[in-house]
Structure formats: structure tokens, C-alpha cells
Amino acid sequence: MRSLKFKNNKLFYLDQTKLPGKELWRNCATIKSGWKAIKNLKVRGAPLIGVFAAYCICIHLDKLSKKKNVFLRQLKQSLKYLESARPTAVNLFWALDRLGKVSLQSRQKEVKQIKKNIVKEAKLIHQQDIITCKHIADYGVNLVKKNETILTHCNTGFLASSGQGTALGIIFKTKKQGKNPTVYIDETRPLLQGARLTAWELNKKKIKSFLITDNSAAFLMQNKQIDKILVGADRITASGDTANKIGTYNLAILAKYHNIPFYVAAPLSTFDLSLKKGSDIVIEKRGQKEVKKVLGQALICPKETKAANFAFDVTPSKLIKAIVTDKGVIYPPYEKNIKKLIK
């Protein structure tokens, strides 16, 4: 399963706002339409937006000047422009930063060669993301026992990455190993990534799952119907504090109260060691309409009502049992062990 394609310098993506109703592939022909696709969550999920943004730069290269100093300046502006699409998932910044570094390293070369190096790096980021997902699943699968029931939030599968995903990738692998997982899916208000995307992916993989409203989690935990919680991440600080889809923190607190292990799965590209603690993470605020209208359609409150729409929250590391990465599983003390793993 794929969520984007890059071929002959053409970029295509599966429009996630149309799922599960329609599998609509779109051509991203300009950097502006790429920016909008990220902003409007047509392309979403931390690892995927990094890869997609890198390819958005590739399709834009021929529109830049042939004069090297102008080319380099315009390239820098383009990288900055794409960074501005969404603030929280660090993978976006990480991927664009890699392209920026490549352009600096090859600045003595001709423009043609710099362009080639950038495209090569974007393809490498893409390939690495696929492999990274595989490694996360390899490590994470050992944490899941036979016949366990897992609660997950938002969408962390092949729609959110260029491989099999992070938290969902682990679940796919447990199914492959015959461990017979059952998944409870938080619908994930307001944009319903759980209901629309995770339910769709689990259906495709024939994994037994139940869609629940976000406010059902406590009840299920109280009634001993959840064995573990597995979520993804958009940015993890040096102390292990983790930003993920709004509502993740609720789950972590509930998990602590009910003594249920709470796991985060993320590639090393999701770690931002320049930030010490969770409160340093910029949390994306989105428009009121997303909360007031279900999927842009039915208004569910008086039209004068004001809404607050924070897209992410931060789970303090002390609520996290372990973080599954592509280089191994990190346990507390996080500050020390994260440093050890990411040298």
C-alpha cells in the first residue's frame, strides 16, 4: 500500500481527505499545491509530510533560476515556505533541512548537479522511511502478546508514512505473526483520522477492530478491555516528552490510572533533541470550522459559538512505558537513554 508516488519528476498523492469514500490520486504540480495539501491534511502524518515536502522541492527545482547564487537563494526560500505549512511534526523540518544541507554541500557544483543531488537525497529520505517503518515493526512486535487488545489514536499506518507506518505497522506485524490482535480505534475528533483512515487500513488488512468515540476510552480501560495503548508521535524532545494528535495525553493519563502500558512508536527523525521539554514544542492551532462542522458539513453548534482547535497535545515522558524506534526500544530514564541511542 502506498500513499505517494514520485516518478519522472512527477509527484502523486492519495488525497486523504476523501477517504474512506474515494481513493483519489492527485498530481501535485506546484510547490503551492504541495503546501496546501500539507496544510489541509490531504497529505498528513509526521513521516509522510517529510517525504512529501522533499518531493515538493524536487518538482519545483526547474522553476528556479539557472544562475547559481539566485538558485540557492530561491531554494532556501522554497524550503522555508514549505516549513510554514504545519508547525508541530518535526519530520517536515528534518527532511527539508536534509535538502538544505545537500545544497550547501554541493554549492561549488553547477546548478544542474545541485538539482540532481537534491532529488537523490529526496529519494533517499523516501527509501529510508520505508525501511525505518519495517524496523519499528520488528522491534515493536515483541511487545505484543497473543490475543491482546490494543487501543490506538489517530492514524499511524501506511497513510501516515511511506512504509507500513509506526504504531499501526507494529499491529500489522503482530497480525502477520499470527498473534491475532484486536484493535480499538479512537475516532479522533475533529478530523476523524481514526474513523476514516485507521479503520480503513485495518479493514484492508483484515484485522479485527472496533471504532469507538474518543470518550469511550476510560470506560473500556475500567472494564479491562484494553491490554495496551500504542500511538505515534509528531515530535519527541530530548526528555522523551511526546507531541501527538490531540487526545493522546488523555489516553496516557487514563493508562496510568488503570495500570495499562502506554507505548509510543516513532522513527528517530521524529526526535528533536534541540528541545528539552514538552512545553518547548509549538502546538498547531487550526481553524474553528473543523470543530464546529463535522467534516466541513453539518454544523453541530450555534453558528456564533467560538471553538478552540488545538491539533496536538504533549504527553509527559513519565507516562510513557517505552518508545519504539527504528534503532530499538527506549525505556526510562529517557534523557539518558535517548542520548545513548541517538549519538
Minimum CB separation of residue 269 from ligand MRU in Å reads 11
Shortest spacing between CB 191 and ligand MRU, in angstroms: 7
Comparing CB distances to ligand MRU, the nearer of 221 and 314 is 314
Q: Which residues contact 235 (CB under 8 A, 6 or more apart)?
A: 46, 88, 89, 90, 242, 243, 270, 271, 272, 275, 281
- Exactly one of 234, 272, 313, 326 is catalytic; which is it? 234
Indicate the helix (H) or strand (E) that contains 151. strand 149-152
The burial class, CB within 10 Å (0-12 / 13-18 / 19+), for 303 is exposed
Closest distance of CB 217 from ligand MRU, Å = 15
- Between residues 47 and 181, which has the closer beta carbon with respect to ligand MRU? 47
Q: Is 239 helix (H, G, I), strand (E, B) or coil?
A: coil
Between residues 46 and 251, which has the closer beta carbon with respect to ligand MRU? 46
Q: By C-beta, is 41 or 338 nearer to ligand MRU? A: 41
CB closest to ligand MRU, residue no: 232
Nearest distance from C-beta of residue 153 to ligand MRU, angstroms? 7
Contact between 41 and 191 under an 8 Å Cβ cutoff? The reply is yes
Give 151's strand partners: 184, 229
The residues pairing with 185 across neighbouring beta strands, listed in sequence order, are 152, 211
Cβ contacts of 176 within 8 Å, gap of 6 or more = none
For the question of residue 234 being annotated catalytic, the response is: yes
User: Is 189 in a helix, a strand, or coil?
Assistant: coil
Note the residues at the interface with ligand MRU (CB under 6 A).
41, 44-47, 89, 154, 156, 160-161, 165-166, 193, 232-234, 244-245, 311
Q: Which residues form the catalytic set?
A: 234
